[in-house]
Amino acid sequence: MSVRTYTELISLPTFEERFRYLKLDGKIGEATFGFQRWLNQEFYHSSEWLSFRDDVIIRDNGCDLGIAGHEIFGPVLIHHINPITYEDIINRNPCVFDLENVICTQLKTHNAIHYGDESILILKPVQRSRNDTCPWRKKLKGVHFMSTMYEDVDMENPDGVSGDGSDVCDGLIGVVVSCLSLNIREKASADSNVIAEAKALDELKIDMANSNDDWYAVCTVAGIEGFCMKKFIAVRE
């Protein structure tokens, strides 16, 4: 596969053309989404990475695939145009911090690229209400742009939005860690029925009002509500 570049990408005028240029037609998890990724989260909290991602967001104006009018109103993901590996991160390969190898995306676009599935894209920009603001614009001194703890996450319907564009559920965001899969149960009990399963690095919305000392009340991106053990969830700040 030939090396793709940011310069070539932005020469394409439409969102659809840029997606087709980037799509990988691969299976999420084989290279940069594997079990080792949760071991390397220190990197994504490093000042080196946070400073770099800020530069990327500013360059792309916080827009999905850098397309004007496609502003990202949730977490901004930094997508590596040419996939990186765990070893690239550990060894600080220059490709990890190459501005020619990155572009801003939202969660759904990011997954569509890796799955090669154009059907899950949000092609029409989200209409926001008056006085609504982009979280990434609210940069204060010493505070980095709104970020996701995990840059390359594996999720279906990853932005947790229902067909009418409203949030499926509200709450804090938690990420599945320290396990390959996590059972979501009907009630806050190990004896309760399993109603869904979350994979490592999947994101879940947390309802603190209905959580207890050992269990989080959660909602999946598909809108399934249940409970999972707290020790396997890292709450994103």
* pLDDT, tens digit (0-9, with 9 covering 90-100), for 170-216: 458 888 877 778 899 999 999 999 999 988 778 888 999 999 999 99
Higher-pLDDT residue of 159, 80: 80
Whole-angstrom Cα distance, residue 229 to residue 213? 9
Angle ∠(63,84,155) on CA atoms, nearest 5:
60
Whole-prediction pTM: 0.55
Q: What is the pLDDT of residue 229?
A: 93
Query: Quick one: pLDDT at residue 115?
Result: 81
Predicted pLDDT at 136: 45
Determine phi and psi for 51, rounding to 5 degrees.
-65, -40
* Residues near 217 by beta carbon (within 8 Å), at least 6 away in sequence: 188, 206, 207, 208, 209, 210, 211, 225, 226, 227
DSSP 1-55: -PPP-HHHHHTS-SHHHHHHHH-----TTSSSSSGGGGGGHHHHTSHHHHHHHHH
Close Cβ partners of 63 (under 8 Å, ≥ 6 residues apart): 69, 70, 71, 72, 104
Indicate if the alpha-carbon torsion angle 199, 201, 204, 206 is positive or negative.
positive
Q: What is the pLDDT of residue 181?
A: 81
With contact defined as beta carbons under 8 Å apart, do 169 and 225 qualify? Answer: yes
CA distance 185 to 58: 41
CA-nearest of 180, 190, 191, 184 to 207 is 184
We find that the CATH architecture of domain 172-235 is Roll (2.30)
Q: Which residue spans of the chain are classified as CATH 2.30.30.40?
A: 172-235
Average pLDDT, the chain: 76
Whole-angstrom Cα distance, residue 21 to residue 12? Answer: 9
